[in-house]
Amino acid sequence: MNPTRTEAIASLTTTGMPYALENGLINGRPCRFFTHAPHTLGQLFADNVSDKTFLVYEDERLTFSEVYDQAMQLANILASEFGVEHGDRVAISMRNYPEWVISFMAVTAMGGVAVCMNALWQTDEIEYGLTHSGSKVFIADEERLQRIAPIADKLGLKIIGTRHEHLGSLPTSRSFSELLAQNPSTDLSWASVSPDDYATIFYTSGSTGHPKGAVSCHRNIISALFSWELDLAARQLELGVSPPPATEQAATLLAVPLFHATGSHAVFLQSYRAQRKMVSMYRWDPLQAVQLIESERITSFVAPAAMTGDLIEAGKQTNADLSSLLSVGGGGAPRAPAQVQNIPEAFTNALPSTGWGMTETNAIGTGIGGEDYLLRPASSGRCSAVLDILIVDDAGNPLPYGERGELRIRGASVIDRYWDRPEANAETFEDGWLKTGDVAYLDDEGYLFIVDRIKDLVIRGGENIGCAEVEAALLALDQVLEASVYAVPDARLGEEVGATLYSKRDLDITEIQTQLAAHIAKFKIPRYIHLQAEPLPRIASGKIDKRALRSIAGSRLGLTDALV
């Protein structure tokens, strides 16, 4: 008789086993963490150097050894020529180029903090992120260098440019390729890094104001990586199956941005540890993705529901051989149950999987896959072994199975804090628990179901958009007297951004969207804008009645399932 999941995890995590767990403190909080895991990301990188192919980007192919050596060279350059010291922040902003991976490895291995900036941000947003994080160096591609050009002198930080054609006209201190051409040392023995040192800052949109910088230490991130491995091993024991023998190197398609924890952790870092080839795309193109899956023998793909749907449709349009694809993972936004069922039909050997996680949990939380997922397509799965989850009522009291309340989480992968945001820390953390802002329930088998959210967010294709940030940008425009931003259901992206504006003058919607583009990233700009000549409706407390506006917008657009 096969063990239950609980029994499988217990056997895999006992003393002496590769995934043995012990109790201790991370960021001063009691946690369970992995005894035999690398202590730092630098150790993880050093332990997994090989001559296998690691990074593929267009016609470029780099081995694990080549990427590692370039990262260590860059680390020495950052220290010797740019004065980066232990704990200094270094911002990275670019497309999914090899230089992103190399920069991340260099900064974290030397004891710096990698500030993984949203590459879709515009000038104002980039300025906020660099200033708020106190970054000492900015590593960016040409698109981002052009955006920072108007403010480069004011910021006064050092800049490294890559993938640029017009270096002379861009605000860059040095060229990435020229720095590595100096053939600096790969010896990083001088670096002293501990498990609880900060490693990353990822910016995440919240329900109020500017995005918040989620700060993780090395052990937070490594706990997430090992948790995914443990969950897979436990599932195999539970089903009584062994992993199939590897006849060729596993390969994954990097189609989600590295500035999200899904891209950096679930795809990049997991690939590094597993010696998996990672094939990166310049931008999402489903037909190109199908071609790459066939030519590079891609075995896994992780992306939000919108991209999975695109891939299914592209697969139907072509005669490409997609039999190498074994796993289609999800996250960031829920899949429609019909899409879950379509995955094994669209891809001969692939099974679907998904999970729930946050930037604040380093992308892990719960997970579900295979037949389990096909039987429960609305579920986000069961909790990771190094985390605890709880459903509570408005007073913070635990609720029994089946009852809806706020989801809270704690454990080894949960961030230490938000960077320089004491008010957000006080609001988000309570007695060691992180308040997720999601409304959920657990069934009697421990499967999690997310049903709503408390936070004022739009989740568009896996991107969190803070309504308050978009409202502030709208209110900064001339003649906009009141603004309310809300989620509008969308068949492909899950949700789109909608807005209702009060103005005493006729406004041009296209002009509003054009003006917003100079201040906020394109994905945040409302697709649906309704103008009215009277004040917005309010509830008894005086706040704008966003629930009513969302319902009206849904009716206006013919969407009967609008969020209310």
* More confidently predicted of 113 and 172: 113
What is the structure's pLDDT at 122?
A: 95
What three-state secondary structure class fits 82?
Answer: helix
Identify the domain boundary among 412, 437, 453.
Answer: 453
**Does residue 199 belong to any structural domain of this protein?**
no
More confident: 130 or 164: 130
Please indicate, yes or no, whether residues 162 and 307 belong to a single structural domain of this protein.
Answer: no
Final residue in a domain of this structure, among 453, 473, 507: 453
Residue 161 and residue 250 in one domain: no
Mean predicted confidence (pLDDT) in 456-461 = 89
Helix axis angle, 467-475 to 509-516, nearest 10°: 110
490-531 pLDDT, tens digit per residue, is: 888 989 999 999 988 889 999 999 999 999 999 999 999 999
Q: Is residue 334 a part of any domain in this protein?
A: yes
Residues 402 and 497 in one domain: no
- Residue 160 is predicted with a pLDDT of 95
Residues 510/545, Cβ–Cβ less than 8 Å: no
537 and 444, same structural domain?
no
Q: Is a pLDDT exceeding 70 seen at residue 26?
A: yes
Q: Same domain for 167 and 103? A: yes
The verdict on 156 and 64 lying in the same domain is yes
pLDDT score recorded for residue 35: 97
Residues 31 and 56 in one domain: no
The answer to whether residues 365 and 475 belong to one domain is: no
Any domain includes 307: yes
Residue 202 lies in a domain: no
In a domain, 203, yes or no: no
Same domain, 183 and 249: no
- The answer to whether 158 and 138 are in contact (CB under 8 A) is yes
pLDDT of residue 563: 36
pLDDT in tens, 320-360: 888 899 999 987 777 777 788 888 888 888 888 999 999 99
CATH number at residue 159: 3.40.50.980
Strand, coil or helix: what is 539? coil
Question: Does residue 208 surpass a pLDDT of 80?
Answer: no
CATH code: domain of residue 431: 3.40.50.12780
pLDDT at 541: 64
| Together in a domain, 220 and 302 | yes
pLDDT of residue 429: 96
Query: Residue 563 domain-assigned?
Result: no
Residues 6+ apart with CB under 8 A from 212: 203, 204, 205, 206, 418, 419, 421, 424
Residue with tokens 């679930």: 266
Q: Report if residue 242 sits inside a domain.
A: yes
Range of 179's domain? Answer: 41-193
Overall domain count for the chain:
3
Write the CA distances from 277 to 56, 106, 252, 492, integer angstroms: 7, 20, 6, 29
Domain boundary among 424, 453, 482: 453
Q: Tell whether 182 and 239 lie within a shared domain.
A: no
Q: Tens digit of pLDDT for each residue in 408-434?
A: 999 999 999 999 999 999 999 999 999
For the record, the structure tokens of 395 come out as 């007073």
Q: Read off the CATH number of the domain in which 461 is found.
A: 3.30.300.30
% of the chain beyond a pLDDT of 70? 96
CA–CA separation, 296 and 279 (whole Å)? 8
In a domain, 378, yes or no: yes
Does the pLDDT at position 562 exceed 60? Answer: no
The β-bridge relationship of strands 463-466 and 457-460 is antiparallel
Burial of 206 (0-12, 13-18, 19+ CB in 10 A): buried
Contact between 462 and 204 (Cβ < 8 Å): no
How many CA atoms lie less than 13 Å away from 181 in the CB half-sphere? 5
358 and 220, same structural domain? yes
Mean pLDDT lowest for which of 79-88, 159-168, 273-282, 554-563? 554-563
Average pLDDT, the chain: 92
